[in-house]
């Protein structure tokens, strides 16, 4: 169902009016909204899973549960456990000259938050930020991707069942509606998607001075250390690369491998991938590429690398279906598109290196990625990589799992995004932390009021020395 653009303005006005009537929802109200979101998920989880599977073509119910439903349930539980502490005013230090006054931070809801979610994890990336938005006392409008139309319509109906339109509403439609959505004067806008579209979203939001949280992507590296035990860790790399067929914003995008270990690495990674997925085409556990357009883009990346001299290692001959078998690429160079563009699929370029400094320089010569993965046992090397690289987040000796930690913020840096959410970090992101100074009945301010007598000048010199 296509939502008319007129409904967009109407719903935004409705939620603004509701926020004005209750600008600081009580803890009980926020808990009730979180409880209803959890009930919505419980009641519709099976239908959502079927809708997402149909939208993709093939996507395992277990994978959807693991990567989308379980993390949202965890986020709701975490928010309900900590909500009272998050809402409590924070007392901060007060300069000694202003004692016995007090300095506080009051966390207030921003108002109405817009959430634009993508197709690759349509449930997770719509509802995960919504958890934080509701915990912080806001109202929300959601615009899910038109590339997962069955799920988008299912979410619209489910939200209307559990929430009034002045609390949360879902708008469904094409890219034109998405553009109109991002141009609205929200109090905050959350966008998850590509860096190229993220730039357009930021430009549209800037016209209204709407603050944005941009969760983008980029080329997230895997750095294999010389101390890495390949036999014990490569299942974790294979899983992180192939879950959702690599259509994950924090999926490993390329691997940096010590040159003497290159052959052993390729052999071990290939074995790990085939252990997880004994076959790819026709395997109900292996996800399809979401559309013909994305499948064709991935084929073009591989063809470009092959034409420029890359060694192409195919784990299974392709029959042309959208269940695309993994492809490992060796002998790659910077002129190839696979080292320039975010891959977002089951293609992994493998780049040999000779020294750790060379590998770090390779990472730093590119845009700051959304994630970085380090595999090894040498903690000095690990700490060197952590200190000398920048990325939105890191998992060591694993992939993806830093995203699942409710106590850690999730977000990018530079071209991979701005702002972050999850847990208290999300609560703060969607709140205005208002500084408040509470003056005491007894204040020394009068000692420095004009007229500025010699006594005051002497006092000011003494205060200057004190600082």
Cα-flanking dihedrals φ and ψ of residue 250, to 5°? Answer: -110, 20
Give per-residue pLDDT as tens, 315-347. 999 999 999 999 999 999 999 999 999 999 999
253 close to 219: Cβ distance less than 8 angstroms: yes
Residue 343, Cβ density class (10 Å: 0-12 exposed, 13-18 middle, ≥19 buried) = buried
Beta-carbon neighbour count of residue 256 at 10 Å?
A: 21
Rounded Cα gap, residues 266 and 261, in angstroms: 9
Please spell the DSSP secondary structure of 179-226, one letter per residue: HHHHTS--SEEEEES-HHHHHHHHHHHHTTT--EEEE-----EEEE-T
Alpha carbons 299 and 304: distance in angstroms, whole number = 9
How many Å apart are CA 447 and CA 23, to the nearest integer?
39
Helical ranges in 57-194 per DSSP H: 61-64, 70-87, 124-135, 149-162, 175-182
Query: Which residue, among 118, 133, 128, 123, has the nearest Cα to 186 in the 3D structure?
Result: 133
The pLDDT value recorded for residue 467 is 55
What are 88's two structure tokens?
């409590």
Comparing CA positions, the residue from 200, 182, 185 lying closest to residue 142 is 182
Sequence-separated (6 or more) residues with CB below 8 Å from residue 52: 59, 64, 68, 122, 123, 148, 150, 151
Can you tell me the distance from the alpha carbon of 194 to that of 404, in angstroms, rounded to the nearest whole number? Answer: 21
Rg (CA), the chain: 25
H helices, E strands: number in the chain: 15, 18
Give a three-class secondary structure readout of 407-451: CCCEECCHHHEECEECHHHHHHHCEEEEEEEECCCCCCHHHHCCC
pLDDT attached to residue 98? 84
SS3 of residue 16 by DSSP: helix
Cα first-last separation, the chain: 64
227-258 tens-digit pLDDT: 999 987 899 999 999 999 999 999 999 999 99
For 9-116, strand residue ranges (E) read 90-92, 102-109, 112-116
| 332 C-beta neighbours (distance < 10 Å), count | 19
pLDDT at position 454 is 86
Give the pLDDT score at 93.
94
* Residue of 455, 407, 405, 412 whose CA lies nearest to 86: 407
- Whole-angstrom distance, CA of residue 168 vs CA of residue 137: 12
Nearest-angstrom CA–CA distance, 25 and 407? 24
Please give the structure tokens belonging to residue 167: 């609390």
Give 10-residue mean pLDDT values along the chain (467 residues): 83 98 98 98 98 97 98 98 97 87 95 98 98 98 97 98 98 94 97 94 96 95 97 92 97 98 97 97 97 96 98 95 97 97 97 98 97 98 98 97 94 94 96 94 77 83 73
Give the residue numbers annotated as catalytic, written as ranges: 215, 249
Residue 339 DSSP code: G
Give 352's strand partners. Answer: 257
Write phi, then psi, for 363 (nearest 5 degrees). Answer: -65, -45
CB 232 within 8 A of CB 353: no
By CB atoms closer than 10 A (0-12, 13-18, 19+), residue 5 is middle
């Amino acid at each position: 169902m296509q939502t008319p653009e007129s409904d967009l303005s109407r719903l935004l006005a409705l939620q603004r009016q509701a926020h004005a009537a209750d600008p600081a929802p009580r803890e009980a109200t926020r808990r009730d909204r979180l409880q209803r979101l959890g009930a919505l998920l419980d009641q519709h989880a099976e239908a959502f899973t079927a809708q997402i599977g149909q939208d993709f073509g093939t996507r395992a119910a277990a994978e959807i549960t693991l990567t989308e439903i379980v993390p949202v349930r965890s986020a709701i539980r975490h928010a309900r456990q900590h909500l009272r502490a998050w809402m409590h005013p924070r007392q901060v230090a007060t300069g000694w000259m202003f004692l016995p006054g007090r300095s506080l931070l009051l966390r207030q809801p921003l108002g109405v938050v817009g959430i634009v979610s993508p197709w690759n994890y349509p449930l997770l990336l719509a509802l995960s930020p919504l958890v934080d938005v509701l915990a912080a006392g806001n109202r929300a409008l959601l615009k899910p991707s038109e590339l997962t139309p069955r799920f988008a319509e299912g979410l619209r109906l489910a939200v209307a069942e559990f929430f009034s339109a002045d609390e949360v509403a879902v708008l469904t439609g094409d890219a034109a509606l998405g553009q109109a959505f991002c141009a609205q004067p929200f109090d905050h806008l959350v966008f998850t998607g590509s860096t190229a579209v993220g730039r357009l979203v930021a430009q549209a939001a800037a016209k209204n001075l709407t603050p944005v949280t941009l969760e983008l992507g980029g080329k997230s590296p895997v750095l294999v250390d010389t101390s890495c035990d390949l036999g014990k860790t490569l299942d974790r790399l294979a899983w992180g690369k192939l879950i959702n067929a690599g259509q994950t914003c924090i999926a490993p995008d390329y691997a940096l491998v010590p040159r003497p270990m290159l052959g052993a690495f390729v052999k071990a990674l290939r074995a790990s991938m085939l252990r997880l997925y004994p076959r790819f085409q026709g395997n109900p556990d292996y996800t399809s590429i979401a559309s013909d357009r994305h499948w064709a883009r991935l084929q073009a990346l591989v063809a470009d690398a092959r034409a420029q001299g890359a060694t192409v290692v195919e784990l299974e001959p392709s029959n042309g279906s959208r269940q695309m078998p993994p492809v490992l690429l060796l002998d790659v160079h910077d002129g190839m598109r696979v080292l320039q563009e975010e891959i977002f699929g089951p293609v992994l370029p493998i780049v040999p290196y000779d020294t750790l400094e060379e590998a770090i320089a390779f990472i730093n010569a590119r845009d700051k990625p959304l994630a970085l993965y380090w595999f090894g046992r040498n903690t000095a090397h690990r700490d060197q990589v952590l200190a000398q690289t920048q990325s939105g987040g890191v998992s060591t000796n694993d992939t993806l799992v830093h995203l699942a930690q409710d106590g850690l913020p999730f977000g990018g840096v530079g071209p991979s995004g701005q702002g972050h959410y999850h847990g208290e970090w999300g609560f703060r992101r969607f709140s205005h932390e208002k500084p408040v100074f509470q003056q005491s009945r007894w204040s020394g301010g009068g000692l420095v009021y004009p007229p500025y007598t010699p006594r005051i000048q002497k006092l000011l010199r003494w205060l200057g020395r004190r600082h």
